[in-house]
Amino acid sequence: MSEAEIQHEYAVLEKSRKNPKAFGELYEKYFDRIFQYVFRQTDDEELTADLCSQTFLIALKNLDRYEFRGVPFSAWLYRIASNEVNKHYRKLKKNKVFSIEELRIRELIEQTETDWDEEIIQRLMNYLKDLPTEMLEVLELRFFEDRDFKDIAFILGITESGAKMRAYRALDRLRKNFNLRIKYNG
């Protein structure tokens, strides 16, 4: 995100604090991304719509508390969404669901230097589903949401070095189990 984009977003936030209708621009800009992020963790469109609505409502209600901390406004939205998903699963006393789309897996595969066949892709999809949640969250944000480690740390409420370590460990597991050569930009 360029400095000009960050400045524009901040100006929209300032307007939104005085006039909630101005928040619509940010809602339009980020709704689809937040929806997809939540959907991958619920695999339920109706629930995702509810959690997304809740995310944006919380953001709008708490605009006065938002402070720029070196990460884009979208990171704050992802953090709220992540908290809402976690709250939902805690309430139900269930584990998070991660719906890993084959298209996203193919995007990840394109970043490797390994030849793939359909059987290996299916094995990889099944393997990813069995990774610990904290590793999946980091992989999702890093590779599917294209977030940098500073954003990931903010979203998940961990240190930047913790985010890097989780990503490294997850990728290391994938390398060992699938003989991958993944380009890691830590």
**Per-position pLDDT tens, the chain of length 186:** 677 887 888 889 999 999 999 999 999 999 999 999 999 888 889 999 999 999 999 999 999 888 877 788 899 999 999 999 989 988 877 665 555 655 566 666 666 656 666 777 777 777 777 778 788 888 888 887 888 999 999 999 999 999 999 998 888 887 777 665 555 555
What kind of architecture, by CATH, is found in domain 3-92?
Orthogonal Bundle (1.10)
Boundaries of every domain in the chain: 3-92, 102-178
Answer yes or no: CATH 1.10.10.10 is held by domain 102-178: yes
Is 55 within 8 Å of 33 (Cβ atoms)? no
pTM: 0.74
Distance of alpha carbon 139 from alpha carbon 128, whole angstroms = 10
Classify residue 97 by burial, with Cβ atoms within 10 Å: 0-12, 13-18, 19+: middle
pLDDT at residue 115, rounded to an integer:
64
Query: Helices marked H in the chain — which ranges?
Result: 3-18, 24-42, 45-61, 73-92, 102-110, 118-129, 133-139, 149-156, 160-178
Read off the tokens for 120: 């290996």
